[in-house]
Structure 1
């Protein structure tokens, strides 16, 4: 636990310590697919670091990791990193001082501004179609989506301007009705429609949270939330996720000592571990949160994907004061990632404030997507059952293949979600970098950590066809 606190303190600003040093794991994520075909590795590495500096993702005077640490994180020789650093020095983009490390230098000032990212969402930037992509847990669309498109009727909506900053009234009513059916009485005024759940979390991180505010997150947690809170300037306090849920003793201490701005959690189908809280554990978590009066953000994005046969869980918000809870939801996990409809559910006054903030970004989600979502929400029970049957079948097949092909890997059987949280027993950052250069895309554990932990873990989706997993394992085997 002391190590956790130490590492967390050193990575409060997107993997950059207070002395400006960039963690090797953070830089590895930021570099993404840096190894360019036909380009020698040192030149490709130097060019990619230089690009991060030029566009403002890496700050002027940021201190790069040691050559040894970066080589280990990227799965290359130390000589490759040494040569890359020499190229940067020759380009006057790097200054090495004895005792101070290798410090980046921007040759000329930037024009405009940029929005730094710590690279946790690098797997969503598009890939070579020949790559075997096992980096994302996003599901293909259900046939229900095709059916809804076929019966789409814009009707009277074409007679309006199409701008609905808080969301199409019909959709807000449908979302409220679904929450009510799931045990959380809701009204349309409590709903703000967003462009996916990622925008919902981003809104919270940039509206509710001020730079320097402390935010409690699970360890590990959804990588998009980490990126959103980091970009908003939050300081993260991590609470480990165990097999039975959050470490409530540590959570209670954090809430007592720090008074954080909010707590972000995923009680059902947790991403990436697949943990789903029992009713008792859910009540115990609510007791701790309610006892401190902290604003709680419950991300239910994957809650439709519970697999244990006990059905959809009643929202944590049902157990907490109405004005101290916000729920994040989405159609993307259950129905299709291409249907970019998410939402926030909360106190009407807070929803009104968030709506005003959202107007600065857009004037509403696409009307066609919203009409489709409103239609499809009436088929939620059917969609949940279809997903459960499909995911369980794929889960059992994927586990069989992994037990045969990777007997040294271990993982808890997930109670929900789309991925396995696998302890491989080896450095997965280096594994992912080697795999990338051979056409396999993996999501290494540090991307899901507030302090670049879980270096031996992978989040591996279990829904892809068996042939895709086998091909990926075959390619990894050829790496030696």
Structure 2
């Protein structure tokens, strides 16, 4: 049995979700959850499971529970075990798709009664609520006599996105813009175009979990580079280039999940390294409009890096609402044309109605930015007050923007997340944002929940720790 495909205990914790069923023996619940994952192909045949001790530690349960579960799975033909070597998934019903680590599992509807503190996605802003209320008035008549397919996006929206970005310092024309169904799709399209299996990709550590999932799915080799003074360590980027790095994925503006921003001097130094090496760079600017002070948007690598080396990703979801699936890629026209053909394989075009709504919302960008800044500023202060009161031992660096706190709990956040599952509180521990499943003491905590909800949820979490 090959053991080159391993799954970490933190990955299993994310994939299992809320696996404990009230009134049912823990081994039976855990076995059922494993079987569901294996049958769905989310734990592919040949995957080596974590050692019993490590998985028990991650799940906050006894080693005997995990041992009994593994024995039951082996008896039912779902596992193969070798004494002293480990346990591997086997199944005649599962497919062999590329493994997932569950980093994006929080982007699903939480069960009733569960407080979701695992996602930083914001609720709809006032402009989008107003626009949706009048959606029936959106004029689609000019497009009804066409086939409705605009793979690169409606010309008017491409032009509007180009104009907005140019005003923000990211020079663009409509020909340099590809409209996508959100930034996640944009990241996937850009990643597939840039790298293949085994190619070395450099990323910040921590980084956006959706990007890790994209490059992992492709089979690329990911190297996480430490962050210093709010941005990626430029010296480590140089070292990665010497090792043959093919692509750099980064967020020099408002970084997800830390909320920090790179200094101007460090950004210029990074741009110089990129230009000298000819390193293709995918810069994710999705959170750049979520600034807490200073300019309306955070600065980026645009204008510093050779445009032929830069692919810029953006979205309307952060500023307006996650339900508005409008993202974009800005790149040289030749690359945009190639990426347009690639996106057709996963979606012929973005909904015309959604794009028309987005065109209307572009007229409210300035107001939406002001509202988000005021909302996030007040929410951050409230969240810091609550967290400090309930967990005085937790620490964090105050963010420059974004929708969350990157908190060091100084304890095992994976186990904390497991405890949260059992009391209806959903958390996003650090390994989900790590390129090597590290950062185990960290949580990404959203700041926008109402004070009473956050206080009650964290207090319950604190209580579950004391009773454990």
Using the size of structure 2 for normalisation, the TM-score is: 0.95
Q: Do 2:430 and 2:441's aligned partners in 1 also have CA atoms closer than 8 Å?
A: yes
Residue in structure 1 matched with residue 78 of structure 2 by the alignment? 93
In structure 1, which of residues 124, 127, 131 is the aligned counterpart of residue 107 of structure 2? 124
Residue in structure 2 matched with residue 12 of structure 1 by the alignment? none
SS in 1 for 2:73: helix
Residue in structure 2 matched with residue 210 of structure 1 by the alignment? 196
SS in 2 for 1:318: coil
Cα separation, partners in 2 of 1:164 and 1:207, compared to 1, 3 Å:
same
- C-alpha distance in structure 1 between counterparts of 2:3 and 2:294, whole Å: 47
Q: Displacement of 1:311 after TM fit?
A: 3.2
- C-alpha distance in structure 2 between counterparts of 1:28 and 1:431, whole Å: 11
Q: Do 2:200 and 2:222's aligned partners in 1 also have CA atoms closer than 8 Å?
A: yes
Mapping for residues 74-153 of structure 1, pairs under 5 Å: 74-106=59-91, 108=92, 110=94, 114-149=97-132, 150=134, 152-153=138-139
- C-alpha distance in structure 2 between counterparts of 1:37 and 1:228, whole Å: 35
Residue in structure 2 matched with residue 11 of structure 1 by the alignment? none
Q: Displacement of 1:38 after TM fit?
A: 4.1
Q: Do 1:244 and 1:281's aligned partners in 2 also have CA atoms closer than 8 Å?
A: no
Kindly indicate whether residue 180 of structure 2 is the aligned counterpart of residue 194 of structure 1.
yes
Residue in structure 2 matched with residue 163 of structure 1 by the alignment? 149
Q: Do 2:169 and 2:302's aligned partners in 1 also have CA atoms closer than 8 Å?
A: no
| 91-100 or 298-307, larger mean C-alpha shift | 91-100
Q: Do 1:184 and 1:314's aligned partners in 2 also have CA atoms closer than 8 Å?
A: no
CA deviations over 1:459-479 (Å, ceiling 9, x no partner): 000111111101211221331
SS in 2 for 1:215: strand
Q: Do 2:316 and 2:326's aligned partners in 1 also have CA atoms closer than 8 Å?
A: yes
Q: Displacement of 1:333 after TM fit?
A: 0.3
SS in 1 for 2:449: coil
Q: Do 1:268 and 1:416's aligned partners in 2 also have CA atoms closer than 8 Å?
A: no
Residue in structure 2 matched with residue 453 of structure 1 by the alignment? 438
| 269-278 or 50-59, larger mean C-alpha shift | 50-59
CA deviations over 1:213-235 (Å, ceiling 9, x no partner): 11111100000110111011111
Q: Displacement of 1:247 after TM fit?
A: 1.0
- C-alpha distance in structure 2 between counterparts of 1:43 and 1:286, whole Å: 54
In structure 2, which of residues 232, 236, 257 is the aligned counterpart of residue 250 of structure 1? 236
In structure 1, which of residues 178, 182, 185 is the aligned counterpart of residue 168 of structure 2? 182
Residue in structure 2 matched with residue 232 of structure 1 by the alignment? 218
Kindly indicate whether residue 443 of structure 2 is the aligned counterpart of residue 467 of structure 1.
no
Q: Do 1:123 and 1:136's aligned partners in 2 also have CA atoms closer than 8 Å?
A: yes
Cα separation, partners in 2 of 1:110 and 1:447, compared to 1, 3 Å:
closer
SS in 2 for 1:141: coil
Mapping for residues 408-447 of structure 1, pairs under 5 Å: 408-447=393-432
Residue in structure 2 matched with residue 354 of structure 1 by the alignment? 339
- C-alpha distance in structure 2 between counterparts of 1:36 and 1:167, whole Å: 46
Structure 1, unpaired ranges of 5+: 1-16
Kindly indicate whether residue 375 of structure 2 is the aligned counterpart of residue 369 of structure 1.
no
Task: Give the aligned length.
Answer: 461
Q: Do 2:391 and 2:462's aligned partners in 1 also have CA atoms closer than 8 Å?
A: no
Mapping for residues 2-13 of structure 1, pairs under 5 Å: none
Cα separation, partners in 2 of 1:468 and 1:243, compared to 1, 3 Å:
farther
- C-alpha distance in structure 2 between counterparts of 1:44 and 1:223, whole Å: 28
Q: Displacement of 1:291 after TM fit?
A: 1.8
Q: Displacement of 1:304 after TM fit?
A: 0.6
- C-alpha distance in structure 2 between counterparts of 1:67 and 1:33, whole Å: 19
Q: Displacement of 1:110 after TM fit?
A: 4.4
Residue in structure 2 matched with residue 313 of structure 1 by the alignment? 298
Q: Displacement of 1:76 after TM fit?
A: 1.1
SS in 1 for 2:106: helix
Residue in structure 2 matched with residue 67 of structure 1 by the alignment? 52
Q: Displacement of 1:195 after TM fit?
A: 0.4
SS in 2 for 1:317: coil
Q: Do 1:268 and 1:306's aligned partners in 2 also have CA atoms closer than 8 Å?
A: no
- C-alpha distance in structure 2 between counterparts of 1:65 and 1:110, whole Å: 19
Q: Displacement of 1:212 after TM fit?
A: 1.3
Residue in structure 2 matched with residue 407 of structure 1 by the alignment? 392
